[in-house]
Amino acid sequence: MSDKRSSVFSLILAFMLVFAVSPSLSEAQSRYDNSFPVRVGIFYGSISKSTYSVSGSSLEVYDASNKVIETDSDTLTASVCQQIYTSSSAESTFESARISAEKYGVDALVYYDRGSFYAGSRSASSNLAPSGGSKVIFAIEDSPAVAVEGSKDIYVSSDDGVTYLGSSAYRGKLNFYIKGSALHAINEVGMQDYLYGVVPKEMVSSWELEALKAQAIVAKNHVITNYSKHTSDGFNVCSTTHCQVYGGYSAEQPKTNRSVDETEGMIMTYRGAPAEAYFHSSSGGRTEAIGNMWNYSLDYMTGVKDPYSTGTPYDSWEANMTSSEIEQALLSRGYDVGTVVGVKILEVSENDRVMKLGVLGTKGMKILEKDSIRIVLGSSKFRSTYFTLKSTSGSAPVSRSNDIGIRDSGLKNTFDRLDSFVSDRISDVSQDFVSGSSFVFSGRGFGHGIGLSQYGANNMAKEGYGYKEIISHYFSGVTVG
């Protein structure tokens, strides 16, 4: 699912995409089809590998100018090599360099650099010179390996358009390059091909077609407005929930592909610019304003009543935590409040989600805010911040330090300041801490609650609403076209 990002940067990017790419909105929209390239980080950073297995039909290895390094192999491996040794004489073709390199035996390779080929080896030899810098090595069956500069845009693709990286298949082309000591694997595809791999991973593929079409457009807008999210990593978006889950060709389903095809070129705009788009599983009956969750506001995501998200598997949930479990959860994040003696909902939004949760301990109090509540206490337990709180012990609420026998005289001042804060700012929330040895958090919905509710969208489609009506319900004032 989608994640938060800088609103200023997003708005700048949105205007650049509309006005820099094309002088008119209709022309800009027409580019959001399969001619619009998306680079997806499959393996990068800490999850990158040292070696990748690649397979397909008559694989081709080529550079950014599409000069083919000749190979008709169906399998190869890509890996990092710290040092190679090459001839100083360039050859005109891969084949001539291959023949020259064969005398170096099992370590033979062909080094490709800026359109020229050099015979070489991975082992030192008296008539070869060391070539500095890490190289990407493509080991090809029945042929010497091909070595390329680790910083260059070198691609692998299959002549049938589907290439396997391990057991997963991808459309488009695979890009391998070295960053630090890691070998990154990137899938470069057109927008439609990218969405083919996203929609079935983010929404149930058997759901209503109109809901799937709404998801396709929201997913498209999300990548457009997050297009530079991973620029420093060398690609646009990743394949995880940090951006959107992407499964490539292996994830595709006929119905979700149809939803992408029938919305080709369409985007969601607000006042002439591509609109930011977020989604979650189920709102629980009411979506949240983006400003209440991520500290910046958008007129078209202010929260709406959402009866379509009731009657779902996530209508209600319950999280039970002992005071000791809460204490340990805080400690794991570096917050030491001592022994937990009370918990209190300090602030809720106009859409009924918890904005601030106070945890009081013998050493002080920690206030968890917004989505950090789920992050700190555990998103596997806390499906949303749309919850209420009670104690399971039947203990009386805590409102003063002498109620709980704490020796720290400064704690009474903490309670007094908190009471003042509550009375001044939060008139509709109880001013008493809930005490006890365990606590029950009773909630609704699943996810951050921003933007489109997926279960709600499917229920709307079941009631006969089209994808444009679904989008307009969750994103007020936007245009789809």
Calpha distance 131→120 (Å, rounded): 10
- 393: how many CB neighbours lie within 10 A of its CB? 13
Whole-number pLDDT of residue 111: 95
- 112: how many CB neighbours lie within 10 A of its CB? 24
Domain boundary among 143, 165, 189: 189
Residue 385's DSSP bridge partners are none
Structure tokens at 141: 């069956």
In a domain, 354, yes or no: yes
In a domain, 127, yes or no: yes
Calpha distance 221→437 (Å, rounded): 46
Calpha distance 60→173 (Å, rounded): 10
Whole-number pLDDT of residue 1: 53
> pLDDT tens-digit profile of 399-416?
333 333 333 333 334 334
pLDDT surpasses 90 at 248: yes
In a domain, 251, yes or no: no
Tell me the residue range of the domain where 91 lies. Answer: 47-189
Whole-number pLDDT of residue 419: 39
Domain boundary among 133, 154, 189: 189
In a domain, 145, yes or no: yes
Split into its structural domains, the chain has a count of 2
* Residue closest to 361 by CA, chosen among 295, 410, 292: 410
In a domain, 391, yes or no: yes
* Residue closest to 207 by CA, chosen among 454, 464, 468: 454
In a domain, 423, yes or no: yes
Predicted TM-score (pTM) of this structure: 0.84
Determine the 3-state secondary structure of 344 from DSSP: strand
In a domain, 286, yes or no: no
In a domain, 125, yes or no: yes
Lowest mean pLDDT among 8-17, 105-114, 153-162, 327-336: 8-17
